[in-house]
Amino acid sequence: MEATANRFKSILMDIEGTRDVGTSLNSGGPEIEIRVDKEKAALYGLNDYTIAKTIRDSVAGLKATTYRSNQEEIDVMIRSGIDSMGSKMN
Protein backbone atom coordinates (compact mmCIF):
# COMPACT_ATOMS: atom_id res chain seq x y z
CA MET A 1 0.00 0.00 0.00
CA GLU A 2 2.86 2.38 0.81
CA ALA A 3 4.40 1.87 -2.63
CA THR A 4 1.07 2.66 -4.31
CA ALA A 5 0.55 5.75 -2.15
CA ASN A 6 4.05 7.01 -2.96
CA ARG A 7 3.54 6.33 -6.67
CA PHE A 8 0.25 8.26 -6.67
CA LYS A 9 1.92 11.07 -4.72
CA SER A 10 4.68 11.21 -7.33
CA ILE A 11 2.13 11.42 -10.16
CA LEU A 12 0.32 14.28 -8.42
CA MET A 13 3.57 16.15 -7.71
CA ASP A 14 4.29 16.18 -11.46
CA ILE A 15 1.09 18.10 -12.21
CA GLU A 16 1.74 21.79 -12.68
CA GLY A 17 0.13 23.85 -9.94
CA THR A 18 0.01 21.15 -7.26
CA ARG A 19 1.59 21.98 -3.91
CA ASP A 20 2.11 20.31 -0.57
CA VAL A 21 1.38 16.85 -1.95
CA GLY A 22 1.69 14.15 0.67
CA THR A 23 0.06 11.11 2.17
CA SER A 24 -0.92 10.26 5.70
CA LEU A 25 -0.31 6.55 5.26
CA ASN A 26 2.03 6.49 8.25
CA SER A 27 -0.64 8.01 10.51
CA GLY A 28 -2.86 4.96 10.30
CA GLY A 29 -5.61 5.26 7.71
CA PRO A 30 -4.82 5.28 3.99
CA GLU A 31 -5.81 8.60 2.47
CA ILE A 32 -4.59 11.24 0.10
CA GLU A 33 -5.29 14.95 0.38
CA ILE A 34 -5.75 16.95 -2.80
CA ARG A 35 -5.87 20.73 -2.67
CA VAL A 36 -7.41 22.33 -5.71
CA ASP A 37 -6.57 25.79 -7.00
CA LYS A 38 -10.17 26.99 -7.30
CA GLU A 39 -9.35 29.84 -9.66
CA LYS A 40 -7.58 27.57 -12.13
CA ALA A 41 -10.28 24.92 -11.81
CA ALA A 42 -12.94 27.56 -12.55
CA LEU A 43 -11.13 28.41 -15.79
CA TYR A 44 -11.98 24.87 -16.92
CA GLY A 45 -15.54 25.08 -15.62
CA LEU A 46 -14.82 22.78 -12.66
CA ASN A 47 -16.17 23.20 -9.15
CA ASP A 48 -15.40 21.36 -5.88
CA TYR A 49 -18.26 18.91 -6.30
CA THR A 50 -17.29 17.91 -9.85
CA ILE A 51 -13.64 17.41 -8.91
CA ALA A 52 -14.46 15.42 -5.76
CA LYS A 53 -16.99 13.20 -7.57
CA THR A 54 -14.57 12.52 -10.43
CA ILE A 55 -11.81 11.50 -8.03
CA ARG A 56 -14.17 9.36 -5.92
CA ASP A 57 -15.63 7.64 -8.98
CA SER A 58 -12.16 6.99 -10.42
CA VAL A 59 -10.96 5.33 -7.23
CA ALA A 60 -14.08 3.69 -5.78
CA GLY A 61 -15.79 3.09 -9.10
CA LEU A 62 -19.01 4.16 -10.71
CA LYS A 63 -21.84 1.66 -11.07
CA ALA A 64 -22.59 1.50 -14.79
CA THR A 65 -25.27 -1.17 -14.72
CA THR A 66 -26.30 -4.41 -13.10
CA TYR A 67 -25.77 -7.67 -14.95
CA ARG A 68 -28.50 -10.21 -14.20
CA SER A 69 -28.11 -13.91 -14.82
CA ASN A 70 -30.72 -16.29 -13.42
CA GLN A 71 -31.05 -15.30 -9.76
CA GLU A 72 -27.67 -13.56 -9.55
CA GLU A 73 -27.05 -9.82 -9.84
CA ILE A 74 -23.57 -8.42 -10.46
CA ASP A 75 -22.79 -4.70 -10.39
CA VAL A 76 -20.70 -3.55 -13.37
CA MET A 77 -18.27 -0.92 -12.10
CA ILE A 78 -16.13 1.57 -14.01
CA ARG A 79 -12.81 2.39 -12.35
CA SER A 80 -9.58 4.08 -13.32
CA GLY A 81 -6.42 2.25 -12.42
CA ILE A 82 -3.42 4.21 -11.20
CA ASP A 83 -1.55 3.24 -14.39
CA SER A 84 -4.22 4.80 -16.59
CA MET A 85 -4.47 7.87 -14.32
CA GLY A 86 -0.75 8.50 -14.70
CA SER A 87 -0.89 8.31 -18.49
CA LYS A 88 -3.81 10.76 -18.60
CA MET A 89 -1.98 13.26 -16.42
CA ASN A 90 1.11 13.47 -18.62
What is the pTM (predicted TM-score) of this model?
0.47
**Paired residues of 65 in beta bridges:** 76
b vs e for 36-45, b when ≥16 Cβ sit within 10 Å of the residue's Cβ? beeeeeeeee
As a whole number of angstroms, the distance between CA 39 and CA 37 comes to 6
pLDDT for the residue 47: 92
Q: Which residues of the chain have pLDDT under 70?
A: 24-31, 81-90
- Confirm if 38 and 48 have CB atoms less than 8 A apart: yes
> Do 40 and 34 touch, CB atoms closer than 8 A?
no
Nearest Cα to 18, choosing from 31, 2, 1, 32?
Answer: 32
Per-residue model confidence (pLDDT) at position 26: 63
pLDDT of residue 12: 84
Q: Report pLDDT for 13.
A: 84
